[in-house]
C-alpha cells in the first residue's frame, strides 16, 4: 500500500516537474526571441519576409506599424487579380483613347476597343509601400479562377462566343504589358520585385484559357506566351536582373514533377521564369514536413529559385501548430544554409483575424502583433540554424556592385555659379519640377513643360568641396536622394534643407558646351540624375541611375532672370516673362463655376457579378449614371444574411443592424453623367447566385 502510494506521489511529482520544465522552456524561448523579429531573422537571410494584406489594412496606421516590425514585403490577397482590375463587366474604350492613357496595344491587336483597367487600388498600395520602405509581390497576371469570362469572348461580352487563339494572344499581350508598364512607369513602381505571372495552371478546369487554347497543362502555350510578354517588359525597363518572374501553384508537393516539366517548357530557348512560388497551404496532418521538403529540394536541384508564397498551417491547436512550424522551418532553413536559392517566405495573412481559411487559426499571430507559440518556434528554428538575428547564410554572400569602366564618368568637373536656375533635360526638353508645385517635404520631382512656377526654380550654392546643393524655389527645401540610397532607381524628391550627402551633387561637363550631367554624392558620384526610362512626357519621375552618358542624364542650367552670378533672395529672383523657359504650358480649362448637382441615388443603375470558388467569393458592383446630370454621393445597402464582407475595394464599409452600408471614398463620390464606377468585396464561405443589394 505504501509502495503504491509512493509510486503515485512520484508520478505526480514528475508531471509537475515536466510541466514546470515546459513552462520554463517556453518562457526562456520567448525571452530569447524578444529582440528578434521575422524581419531581422528571415528577412535578413532570405531577402524578403512577407505577408498577405488588403488595402484597408494598409490604411490602418496600427496594422501598418505592426506589419513593418516583421515584414518587408506584401502580397495583395485579391486586389491585383484580373477580376479586380478588369471588373465584373467590360468598360470598353477606343484603342486610340487607350493608347493616350499609356496602354500597350500590340501590332496584331485587331479590335477597335479594349477594356479599361482600374489601377486605383494598385496605385495606392504601391505608394503606401514606397513611403514605408516595403516591397511588393505582384499577384497575379494569369489565373483561371478570378478572370472574368467576358475577357475571353467576342466583343468582350459575357454572352459572346469564345475568341480564337490569335485574338486571345493579342489580348493577353495587351493586358500583361499594360499592367506591367503601368507599374514601372509609376514613380512608385520600384517597390514591385516579383510577379506571379501564371497561377495554378495545373489545376485549371473549364476556364476561358482552356476554352481558347485547349486543355494543356505542362505545355500550355498561353503560359509560355504570358511569361514571354512579361519578360519582354522587364527587358524594356532593364529590370531582368532585379525583378523575377514566377510560376505559382498549390499542392506543389503532389504536382512536383509536373511543375518541373512546365517551368522547363516555359524556359525552352531562354530562361524567363526564375522559378516556383510554393503556395504552402499546409496542415499538421498533411503533408508531412519530409514530403513537403522533397518537393522544395527537387525544385532547387532543378535550378529553380523558390519563394514560399502563401504559407499557412491548419492545425489541431497552438501546440500542434508550433511543433509543425518548428520542424518545417528547421528543414527550410537547413536547405537555405546549404546553398538553396530560397529568396522569400510569405505568410498568408497578418494574423488569424484575417485568414482565408474558415474556422482555422493557421498563422503566427492570433491578432496583429500578438505572437503565438508557433512564432517563437519559427524564430527558434532560425536561430538554431543561423545564429543571432540578422545572420546571413555564408554560402550566399550578398554581392557588392562594382561599376564597370564604361559606367564611370571621367569627364571634368564643371563650375556653375551660385544663383537661381531652371534645369532643362536635353532628351525630353522638359524641366526639373517639384510635383504639383507642393511645398512639402518628401514631394517627388519629375519633368514637365516650362511654366516658370516656383517648383521649377533651383538655387545653386557651391559647397567648396566640388559639390553643390540645389535649393527649391518653394522654400527651405533642397533636392534630395530619398533616404540617401546608393542604388539605381532611388527616388529624387525635395526635403528639409540640411545640406548633407543626400542633398549634394557634382556637376560634370559633357562633349557639348553648356550641357552637364549631375552626379549624387550619396553614390560617391557613380549615379546621376536621370529621367526614368528615357521618359519625355510631363510627370515622368526623376531618379538616380548609374552613369551611361545618354541625353536622358544631361541637363542645361538656364539662369532665372539672368541673375545667376548673384546670390539673391527668392523674392528678387522672380523671372521676367521673356526669361521663362521657352516652352509655355498648354491652356488650362477654366474651373467649373458650379459644383456637381446633388442627385438622389435612385437615379443610378446598380448591377453586380459574383465569382465564387467554393471556399470564398468576390462580388463586383457597378454603379452607372444615366440620369442626364452628375451624381454627387451614393449609398448601397446589402443584407448581412446574404454575404460576409472580409475585405473591400473602392468603398467604405459600415454596418447598420442587418445591413452592410457601402459609401464612396473621396475619388468616386461624384459620378458624371454617362460614366460608371465599380466597387467590390471579398468574402469567405459559400454564396448563392444573388444578393440583396439596394441603392439608397
Best CA proximity match to 618, nearest among 695, 684, 677: 684
Cβ atoms of 115 and 86 closer than 8 Å: yes
Which residue in 611, 646, 424, 403 sits closest to 536, CA to CA? 424
* CA pair distance 508, 555, nearest whole angstrom: 10
In the chain, count H helices and then E strands.
Answer: 14, 35
**Residue whose cell numbers read 527649391:** 472
Residue 573 to residues 83, 419, 525: CA-CA distances in angstroms? Answer: 53, 9, 30
Give the three-state DSSP class for 471.
Answer: strand
Which secondary structure element, helix H or strand E, spans residue 275, and what is its range? strand 275-278
The span from the CA of 250 to the CA of 143, in Å, is: 13
Region of residue 380 (phi > 0: left; psi between -120 and 50: alpha; otherwise: beta): alpha
- In sign, the C-alpha dihedral spanning 424, 429, 434, 437 is positive
Tell me how far CA of residue 214 lies from CA of 199, 255, 257, in angstroms.
17, 20, 21
- Cis peptide bond upstream of 421, omega within 30: no
For 427, which DSSP code?
A: T
Residue 103: DSSP 8-state: -
CA–CA separation, 455 vs 36, rounded Å?
A: 44
Q: Is residue 331 within 8 Å of residue 60, measured between CB atoms?
A: no
| Catalytic residue (one of 36, 77, 79, 200) | 200
Which three cell numbers mark 161?
Answer: 462566343
156-193 burial: b if 16+ Cβ within 10 Å, else e: beeeeeebeeebbbbbbbbbbbbbbbbbbbbbbbbbbb
- The contacts of residue 214 (CB under 8 Å, 6+ apart) are none
Alpha carbons 32 and 569: distance in angstroms, whole number: 58
In the set 124, 255, 310, 554, the catalytic residue is: 310
Nearest to 113 by CA among 96, 89, 132: 96
Cα dihedral 203, 209, 211, 212, rounded to 10, equals -150
Distances (CA, A) of 520 to 415, 445, 524, 634: 16, 15, 7, 50
Question: Residue 261 burial (CB < 10 Å; 0-12/13-18/19+)?
Answer: middle
Active site residue 200: yes
**79 given a catalytic annotation:** no
Q: Annotated catalytic sites, by residue?
A: 200, 310
Amino acid at each position: 500500500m505504501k509502495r503504491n502510494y509512493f509510486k503515485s506521489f512520484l508520478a505526480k511529482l514528475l508531471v509537475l516537474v515536466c510541466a514546470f520544465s515546459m513552462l520554463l522552456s517556453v518562457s526562456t524561448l520567448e525571452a530569447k526571441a524578444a529582440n528578434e523579429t521575422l524581419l531581422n531573422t528571415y528577412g535578413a537571410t532570405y531577402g524578403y519576409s512577407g505577408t498577405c494584406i488588403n488595402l484597408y489594412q494598409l490604411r490602418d496606421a496600427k496594422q501598418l506599424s505592426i506589419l513593418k516590425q516583421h515584414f518587408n514585403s506584401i502580397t495583395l490577397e485579391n486586389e491585383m487579380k484580373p477580376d479586380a482590375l478588369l471588373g465584373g463587366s467590360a468598360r470598353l474604350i477606343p484603342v486610340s483613347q487607350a493608347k493616350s492613357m499609356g496602354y500597350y496595344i500590340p501590332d496584331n491587336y485587331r479590335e477597335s476597343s479594349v477594356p479599361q483597367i482600374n489601377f486605383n487600388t494598385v496605385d495606392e498600395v504601391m505608394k503606401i509601400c514606397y513611403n514605408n520602405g516595403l516591397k511588393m509581390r505582384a499577384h497575379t497576371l494569369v489565373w483561371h479562377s478570378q478572370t472574368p469570362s467576358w475577357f475571353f469572348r467576342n466583343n468582350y461580352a459575357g454572352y459572346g462566343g469564345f475568341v480564337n487563339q490569335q485574338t486571345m494572344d493579342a489580348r493577353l499581350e495587351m493586358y500583361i504589358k499594360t499592367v506591367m508598364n503601368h507599374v514601372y512607369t509609376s514613380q512608385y513602381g520600384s517597390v514591385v520585385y516579383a510577379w506571379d505571372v501564371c497561377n495554378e495552371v495545373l489545376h485549371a478546369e473549364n476556364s476561358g484559357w482552356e476554352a481558347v487554347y485547349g486543355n494543356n497543362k505542362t505545355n500550355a502555350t498561353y503560359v509560355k506566351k504570358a511569361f514571354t510578354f512579361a519578360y519582354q517588359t522587364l527587358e524594356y525597363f532593364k529590370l531582368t536582373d532585379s525583378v523575377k518572374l514566377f510560376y505559382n501553384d498549390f499542392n506543389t508537393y503532389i504536382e512536383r514533377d509536373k511543375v518541373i516539366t512546365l517551368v522547363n517548357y516555359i524556359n525552352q530557348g531562354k530562361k524567363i521564369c526564375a522559378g516556383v512560388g510554393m503556395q504552402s497551404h499546409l496542415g499538421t496532418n498533411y503533408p508531412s514536413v519530409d514530403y513537403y521538403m522533397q518537393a522544395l529540394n527537387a525544385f532547387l536541384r532543378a535550378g529553380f529559385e523558390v519563394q514560399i508564397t502563401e504559407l499557412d498551417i491548419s492545425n489541431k491547436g497552438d501546440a500542434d501548430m508550433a511543433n509543425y512550424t518548428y520542424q518545417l522551418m528547421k528543414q527550410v532553413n537547413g536547405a537555405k544554409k546549404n546553398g538553396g536559392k530560397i529568396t522569400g517566405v510569405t505568410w498568408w495573412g497578418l494574423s488569424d483575424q484575417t485568414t482565408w481559411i474558415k474556422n482555422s487559426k493557421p498563422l503566427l499571430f492570433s491578432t496583429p502583433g500578438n505572437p503565438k507559440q508557433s512564432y517563437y518556434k519559427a524564430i527558434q528554428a532560425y536561430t538554431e540554424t543561423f545564429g543571432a538575428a540578422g545572420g546571413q547564410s555564408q554560402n550566399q554572400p550578398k554581392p557588392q556592385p562594382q561599376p564597370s569602366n564604361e559606367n564611370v564618368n571621367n569627364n571634368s568637373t564643371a563650375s556653375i555659379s551660385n544663383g537661381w536656375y531652371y534645369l532643362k533635360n536635353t532628351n525630353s526638353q522638359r524641366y526639373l519640377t517639384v510635383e504639383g508645385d507642393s511645398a512639402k517635404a518628401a514631394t517627388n520631382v519629375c519633368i514637365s513643360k516650362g511654366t516658370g512656377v516656383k517648383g521649377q526654380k533651383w538655387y545653386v550654392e557651391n559647397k567648396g568641396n566640388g559639390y553643390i546643393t540645389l535649393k527649391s524655389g518653394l522654400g527651405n527645401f533642397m533636392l534630395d536622394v530619398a533616404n540617401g540610397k546608393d542604388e539605381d532607381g532611388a527616388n529624387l524628391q525635395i526635403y528639409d534643407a540640411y545640406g548633407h550627402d543626400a542633398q549634394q551633387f557634382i556637376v560634370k561637363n559633357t562633349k557639348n558646351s553648356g550641357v552637364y550631367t549631375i552626379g549624387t554624392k550619396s553614390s560617391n558620384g557613380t549615379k546621376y540624375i536621370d529621367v526614368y526610362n528615357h521618359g519625355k512626357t510631363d510627370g515622368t519621375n526623376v531618379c538616380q541611375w548609374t552613369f551611361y552618358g545618354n541625353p536622358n542624364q544631361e541637363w542645361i542650367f538656364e539662369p532665372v532672370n539672368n541673375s545667376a552670378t548673384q546670390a539673391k533672395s527668392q523674392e528678387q529672383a522672380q523671372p521676367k516673362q521673356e526669361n521663362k523657359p521657352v516652352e509655355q504650358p498648354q491652356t488650362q480649362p477654366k474651373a467649373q463655376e458650379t459644383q456637381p448637382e446633388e442627385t438622389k441615388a435612385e437615379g443610378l443603375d446598380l448591377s453586380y457579378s459574383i465569382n465564387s470558388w467554393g471556399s470564398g467569393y468576390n462580388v463586383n458592383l457597378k454603379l452607372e449614371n444615366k440620369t442626364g446630370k452628375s451624381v454627387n454621393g451614393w449609398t448601397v445597402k446589402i443584407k448581412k444574411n446574404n454575404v460576409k464582407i472580409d475585405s473591400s475595394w473602392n468603398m467604405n464599409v459600415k454596418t447598420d443592424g442587418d445591413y452592410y452600408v457601402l459609401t464612396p471614398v473621396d475619388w468616386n463620390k461624384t459620378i458624371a453623367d454617362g460614366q460608371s464606377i465599380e466597387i467590390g468585396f471579398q468574402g469567405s464561405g459559400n454564396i448563392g447566385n444573388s444578393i440583396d443589394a439596394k441603392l439608397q
